[in-house]
């Protein structure tokens, strides 16, 4: 069953009467009474919907026409991207100092061992 439709003349007359009544500060009940005199035969919620739909059909002017609203995302929010892996940090200064001491001790012992080997070789060459 098709819904009831007003002719364009009657619809514009109803809308003009309701808009005029609302702009001068009348309530929806009073606007409904005036709309019924203009040929409307529905409820207060129906006249509100009729006005709201008619306003939605008219092209907007100004900033509202230029900036469309983004669509609202529905559902569960997406997971955030994982942070990239951090670069390995160099050891702290306390560990660096200990490592430097160990390196120095090892170098001294290696140098002492080479000196002993060198001295032993030189002694072997003299006696040979």
Q: Which of 7, 15, 20, 99 is nearest to 54 (CA)?
A: 15
pLDDT in tens, 2-16: 577 888 899 999 999
Cβ atoms 13, 39 nearer than 8 A: yes
pLDDT in tens, 57-103: 766 666 556 666 777 878 888 888 877 777 776 656 667 778 888 99
∠ at Cα 86 (83, 89), nearest 5°?
160
pLDDT in tens, 12-68: 999 999 999 999 999 999 999 999 999 898 899 999 999 998 887 766 666 556 666
Q: What does the pLDDT read at residue 71? A: 78
3-state secondary structure of 42: coil
Domain ranges of the chain: 8-59, 93-128
Q: What does the pLDDT read at residue 73? A: 78
Q: What does the pLDDT read at residue 60? A: 61
3-state secondary structure of 24: coil
- DSSP state, residue 27: -
Query: How crowded is the C-beta side of 27, counted as CA atoms within 13 Å?
Result: 3
Helix, strand, coil percent values for the chain (each to nearest 5): 60, 0, 40
Positive or negative torsion for Cα 106, 110, 111, 113: positive
Q: Which of 2, 1, 6 is nearest to 41 (CA)?
A: 6
């Amino acid at each position: 069953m098709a819904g009831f439709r007003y002719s364009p003349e009657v619809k514009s007359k109803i809308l003009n009467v309701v808009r005029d009544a609302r702009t001068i500060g009348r309530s929806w009940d009073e606007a409904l009474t005036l709309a019924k005199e203009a040929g409307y035969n529905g409820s207060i919620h129906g006249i509100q919907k009729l006005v709201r739909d008619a306003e939605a059909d008219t092209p907007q002017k100004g900033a509202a026409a230029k900036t469309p609203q983004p669509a609202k995302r529905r559902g569960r929010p997406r997971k955030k991207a994982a942070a990239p892996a951090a670069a390995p940090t160099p050891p702290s200064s306390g560990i660096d100092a200990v490592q430097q001491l160990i390196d120095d001790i090892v170098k001294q012992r290696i140098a002492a061992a080479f000196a002993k080997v060198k001295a032993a070789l030189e002694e072997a060459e003299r006696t040979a």
